[in-house]
Structure 1
Amino acid sequence: MTSNKDKILLRYTGFIFIMGILVITVIVKAIIIMFAEKGYWMEVADRYVSETKKIPPTRGNIISSDGKLMASSLPEYRIYMDFVAAQNAGNDSTLMNHLTEICEGLHQIFPDKSAKEFRRHILNGRKKKSRNYLLYPKRISYIEYKEVKKLPVFNLNKNKGGFHELAYNQRKKPFGSLAARTLGDVYADATMGAKNGLELTYDSILRGKDGAMHRQKVRGTYVDIVDVPPVDGCDIITTIDVDMQDIAEKALVDQLKNLNAQSGVAIVMEVATGKVRANVNMRRGNDGSYYEMRNDAVSNLMEPGSTFKTASIMVALEDGYITPDYVVDTGNGIVNMHGSNMKDWNWHHGGYGKIDVTHILGYSSNVGVSTIIDRFYGNNPQKFIDGLRRMSIDKPLNLGFVGEASPRIRGPKERSYFAKTTLPWMSIGYETMFPPIYLLNFYNAIANNGVMVKPKFVEAISKDGEIIKEYPTEIVNPKICSDKTLEQIRTMLQKVVAEGLAKQAGSKQFHVSGKTGTAQISQGTKGYKSGKTKYLVSFCGFFPSENPQYSCIVSIEDPGGYPSGGVQAGSVFSRIAERIYAKHLYIDLSNAKDSAAILIPDIKNGDIGEAAQVLQALNINSNSSSIPASNAPIWGKAVNTTNYADLKQTAYNKQLVPDVKGMGAKDAVYLLESKGLHVRLSGMGKVTAQSIAPGSYLRKGQTITLTLKN
C-alpha cells in the first residue's frame, strides 16, 4: 500500500518535470525567435514603429535695444474636423446636440463668419463624411486656437471628437514694416532658413538645432517618442531703437510723399559706440506708397556729391596746403578745368568771387574745392587718393549683409588711364561711389574726435533671458587725422549749418554740424543728361555740435522740384534730430537755475492721478497727496503758480461731450473713446481745440477732431 509520503513525492516530481519542460520550451522558442525568426519579427516591429522624424526648433527672437520684440516665431494653426472619427467614437450625437453652442462660439472667436454660416459649413462636412474638413479658411493664432479647443466636442482628443489641427511656425514682426529690411525675412518653409538681413547674417545663431523623434504603437495607439530634444535658437539683441526708427521713418516718408521721390535712406548712429539706432530704407511702390524693399543703406552705390567735399578739404588741411582762411578766386562761378567747365550752383547769378575755405565749404562751391585739389594734387593725383585712404573712408566694413557694397575710389594705380578732369570732379563727389552708411561712418568719426568705429547692428546674443555673448565696439581707425585738422573741420561744418546752405538742417534748441550734397545721377552709358536729369540730395552730420551724441545721414533719390540737399534732405535731418533730442537727450538743469528757485513743471490737464504720482516722486510743491490712489483715471485740471501745483478733480456728465482742451493726446483720446467717440488728431502738443463743443449731447460713433499745438 503506497504511503501518503510517496504520493506527495510522486506529484512533486511530476510538477517539477512539467515545469522543466515549460522552461525548456520557452528557452527554445526564444532562441528560435531571436535567430531563426528574427527577420519576421523585425518586420512586425517595423509595422508598429514609424520612421524617425525631425523636430524643428523654435527660431530665436530679434529684440530691439530697448527690449521690444521685433521678430519672433509664433505658432499659427489651421483647424480641421474628422467626422468619421467622431461617428466611430459615438460622439456624432454629442456634436449635433451642441452644434448651436459650437457655432455661436466659433462666431464669437471669428466674427467675420456668422453662426449660421458655421452651422451650414459644419453640416456640409458631416454630410460628406469628410476626414480632414477645414473648419475656418484662415490660419489662426495660438490664443484663438486655445479658445476653439474649449468648445464642446472640440475639447476631446482627435480620436474621440475628430477635431484636429495643423501647426505652422510663422515669423511675425510686431512693428510691421519698421526696420523690415534691416531685420530681414525667412522662407515660408523654415527648413530653408533666412533670405536676407539680420535673419540671414545670424541665421546659424537664430536657427537652433533639430531634434529627432519616432512614433511607436503602444496598446493600439501611436505615441510620439522623442529621441533627441530640439535646441531652440538664441535671441539676438539689436542696436535698433524702436522709437528712433519710428521717428526717422515718419520724417523721411513724409518728405518722400511731398517730393514724390523715388527712394530715400535715413540712418541714425550713436557717435561713441557706432550702434545703429535707426536704419530706414524706403522705395516707392507701383501703388505710389513707400515700402522697405532693399537695404539701400548698405547696398546702394551712388556718387555722393557735395558731402564728399568735406573729405577733400580735410586731405588738403592735413597735408598743410591750406588753412580755413585760405582764399580762392571762384570768379563768376565758372572755371575751365582741362577743357570742361566746372560750375557753381549760382553761376548764373555771377558766382561767389574771392572766398575762403570756410565759405567754400559753407556755400558748397564746386569751383573752390576743385581748384584747391587740382592746384595742389594735379601733378600727383595718387597723393590725394592716399590721403583719402589714410582716413579709411573707403575701407570695407564687412557688416555681414547680403548684397553689401563697398566704396569705389579708383586712383591712377587702379585705372589704365587717369584723365586730367578726373581729379577735379572726384574732389566734389563724382567719379567715386559710396553706400550711404560709409559716408555716415566718416562723418561719425569726425564727431567722435577722429576715432572711426565700425557701425554695429547687434549688441548681444541671449539665451533664456541671459546674455551669452556681447559684441564690443570695433575701431576701424584710431585717428583719421590730426587734432588740428579735426578742430578746423568741425568748426567749418558747424558754420555750414549756422551760416551756409544747410540752415534747414539746424535747430533752435541745439547746434548741428554737417554738409549738404546734391549730385546728378549718372544714367550709366547714357551719361548724366539723357532724358530727365535725376538727382541725389543728401545731408550728413551730427548733433549737438559741442558734444556729439548722434550722427545721421538722409539721402533722397530723384526728388521733385528744385534739387537741394539743404532744403529737401536737411529739413528731414532737422526733424529727426529735434525729436531724438527731445526724447533721448537731457539737459542738466542744475546749472541753469538759482539754488533758491522752485521749478514747477507745466502740467497738462487729464489724468491728474498720474500727475500726482509724478509730483510726489519729484518732491514738487503740490496738493498731490490729496488725490486718492486709483487704478482708474482721475480726470481733472492743473493750475500752476510760481511755486505750487494745484490739482483739481473734474466731474464729467456721461451724456455730454467732455472738455479735453489742455490735455495731451493720450488722455484726450482715452477719455473720448471711452465715451464711444472716434478721434482724429491734428498737430502735436496739447489739445487747443475740439470740433464738437464741450457740453454738447454725446452721440456714440461720432468723429471728433482734436487740434494740438505745443
Structure 2
Amino acid sequence: MIACNSTKQKDTQTSTTIDSTLQVKATSILENKLTELNALSGQVIIMKVQTGHIKAMVGLERKDGANYLPCENFSQAHESALMHPISILAALETRKVKLSDMVDVGNGIYSIQDRELKDHNWHRGGYGEISIKQGLASSSNIAVYKTMEKAFRDDAQAYFNLIDRMNYGKPDCIAGIANLKPAYFVTPKDSGWSDTAFAWFCIGYNQTITPIQTLTFYNAIANSGKMVQPQLYKDSTTVINPQIASQANIDSLKQALEYVVTDGLGQPAKSNKIQVAGETGTIQFEDGSYIVEFCGYFPANAPQYSIIVSIHKERLPVSGGLIAGDVFRQITEYIITYNKYFNSK
C-alpha cells in the first residue's frame, strides 16, 4: 500500500515536478478549445512515462458567463470514455482472443437482454465484420463486448479479478491532490449488479474514475507494463505494479493504440512531427451532457510523455478525436519544439 503524504505543501517550488512553461502553454491550448466549444470544463494532465512526474496539470471551468477559471477538480470522478483498450487487454490476458480475430458487429445495434448496445455509426449501418484491432480503432462498443463474451463467457467476476490484478483504478491517493478517492466499480458482488451491467461496464459505464487514475493505467501501457505512482514532488519513483500484463499483450495493445491514431478515430491526434499512440472516447451522462477524452503517449516507439485530455460539454457534435485529440496534438507538438530549445526537465 502506498502512503499518501498529505502534509507536503503544494507551494514548495523547489520540489515540484510541474514545468511552469509547459503549464502555461497547456492552459492556453485547453482554454482556447473550451472557448471554441463553449464547453463546461476541461482537464489536461501531462506525465513523464518512466518516473510518473506530473509536468503540467490544468483544470479549467466556465464561471460567470464565458470566462474560464482554474479549478481544483482533479479528484472529480466520472464514467470512463477510455475503457475499451483496458477491457481488450484483460481479454488478451485470457489467451482466448487475439487482436486479429474477427468479430461481426452487424448493423451497429446489438441486443443484450432488454437493452440495445449501439456503435456510434449505427444510423449508418454499422461496421459489419471487422477485426478486434479495427473495432478498437473504430471505438466499436459491440466489438469490445463481443470480445468480452468470447474471453469471459458467463464469468464476469474473472474479468474484474483480472483488472484488479492489473491495478486498474489506482492510485487511491496522490500527495498534492486533495480528496482523491478510490475508483468505484459496480461488480457481480454488488446489489446493483444486473444482467446487462457487465456489457456496459466493459465500455466505460457502471464505474467512476478520475482522469489521473485513467492516465496512470495508460502510462503503464506506455511504460511496457510498469505502473508507477503519479507525483507532483520530486521523490523517488514508486512502482504500483511492476508488470500489469504480459509483455506480449502490452506490445500488441501498443501497436493497436498506434493504429487508432494512424487509421482510426484518433487521427486528429496524429502529428507529422512524431509518431503518437492513444485512444479516443465519448461518454454521455444522464443529464444529456458529454465527456470527450483522448489519452495517449509519445513517441510511440519509445514513450517519454503520456497525456490525458478530458472535456465536459453540453451538446452535439461530440468526438473525442476531433476535440480532445486535437488538444493532445497541439500539446505534443509544443513539447517537441520546447524540448529542442529548452532541454526539457
User: Which of 58, 61, 69 is 1:291 aligned to?
Assistant: 69
Q: Which amino acid aligns with 1:453?
A: V
State the TM-score, normalizing by the size of structure 2. 0.94
- Name the SS of the counterpart of 2:66 in structure 1: coil
Relative to structure 2, which stretch is displaced further, 276-285 or 370-379? Answer: 370-379
Q: 1:442 to 1:585 in 2, by over 3 A?
A: farther
Shift of 1:521: 1.5
For residue 273 of structure 1, what is the aligned residue in structure 2?
51
For residue 385 of structure 1, what is the aligned residue in structure 2?
160
For residue 28 of structure 2, what is the aligned residue in structure 1?
250
- Name the SS of the counterpart of 1:360 in structure 2: helix
User: Which of 211, 227, 252 is 1:488 aligned to?
Assistant: 252
Q: Which amino acid aligns with 1:303?
A: E
Shift of 1:269: 0.1
User: Which of 581, 589, 598 is 2:336 aligned to?
Assistant: 581
For residue 239 of structure 1, what is the aligned residue in structure 2?
17
Deviations along 1:286-340, one digit per CA (max 9) or x if unpaired, are 132101122x22x1111012x1111000000011121011111000000101221
1:424 equivalenced with 2:204 (yes/no): no
User: Which of 286, 310, 317 is 1:562 aligned to?
Assistant: 317
For residue 411 of structure 1, what is the aligned residue in structure 2?
187
Deviations along 1:466-511, one digit per CA (max 9) or x if unpaired, are xxxxx10000000001011011000000000000001001100111
Quick one: distance in 2 between partners of 1:273 and 1:492?
24
Q: 1:558 to 1:452 in 2, by over 3 A?
A: same
Deviations along 1:651-699, one digit per CA (max 9) or x if unpaired, are xxxxxxxxxxxxxxxxxxxxxxxxxxxxxxxxxxxxxxxxxxxxxxxxx
Quick one: distance in 1 between partners of 2:166 and 2:56?
25
Q: Which amino acid aligns with 1:438?
A: Q
Quick one: distance in 2 between partners of 1:262 and 1:378?
40
Contact 2:97 2:150 in 1 (8 A): no
Q: Which amino acid aligns with 1:512?
A: V
- Structure whose CA Rg is larger: 1
What is the 5 A alignment of 1:357-376? 357-376=132-151
Alpha-carbon RMSD across the aligned residues, in angstroms, is: 1.7
Shift of 1:261: 0.2
Q: Which amino acid aligns with 2:283?
A: A
Contact 1:397 1:454 in 2 (8 A): no
Quick one: distance in 1 between partners of 2:166 and 2:232?
23
Deviations along 1:526-573, one digit per CA (max 9) or x if unpaired, are xxxxxxx21000000001101111000000001544010000110000
Shift of 1:402: 2.3
Quick one: distance in 1 between partners of 2:65 and 2:289?
21
What is the 5 A alignment of 1:445-484? 445-459=220-234, 471-484=235-248
- Name the SS of the counterpart of 1:258 in structure 2: helix
For residue 117 of structure 2, what is the aligned residue in structure 1?
342
For residue 109 of structure 1, what is the aligned residue in structure 2?
none
State the TM-score, normalizing by the size of structure 1. 0.46
5+ unaligned residues in a row in structure 1: which ranges?
A: 1-197, 207-233, 460-470, 524-532, 587-710
5+ unaligned residues in a row in structure 2: which ranges?
A: none
Quick one: distance in 2 between partners of 1:500 and 1:337?
26
Shift of 1:350: 0.6
Contact 1:264 1:281 in 2 (8 A): yes
Identity %: 36
What is the 5 A alignment of 1:544-559? 544-559=299-314
Quick one: distance in 1 between partners of 2:277 and 2:152?
28
Q: Which amino acid aligns with 1:534?
A: S
Shift of 1:356: 0.4
Quick one: distance in 2 between partners of 1:480 and 1:491?
17
Quick one: distance in 2 between partners of 1:481 and 1:376?
16
- Name the SS of the counterpart of 1:379 in structure 2: coil
- Name the SS of the counterpart of 2:46 in structure 1: strand
User: Which of 295, 299, 313 is 1:540 aligned to?
Assistant: 295
Q: Which amino acid aligns with 2:8?
A: Y
Q: Which amino acid aligns with 2:167?
A: S
Higher relative contact order (Cα pairs below 8 Å, separated by 6+ residues): 2
Quick one: distance in 2 between partners of 1:424 and 1:410?
12
User: Which of 385, 389, 402 is 2:178 aligned to?
Assistant: 402
Relative to structure 2, which stretch is displaced further, 484-493 or 244-253? Answer: 244-253
Q: Which amino acid aligns with 2:239?
A: I
Contact 2:97 2:151 in 1 (8 A): no
What is the 5 A alignment of 1:626-705? none
- Name the SS of the counterpart of 2:83 in structure 1: helix
Contact 1:245 1:280 in 2 (8 A): yes
Shift of 1:403: 1.8
Contact 2:289 2:315 in 1 (8 A): no
Contact 1:256 1:559 in 2 (8 A): no
Shift of 1:376: 3.2
Contact 1:540 1:552 in 2 (8 A): yes
Quick one: distance in 2 between partners of 1:543 and 1:496?
14
* Count of aligned positions: 336
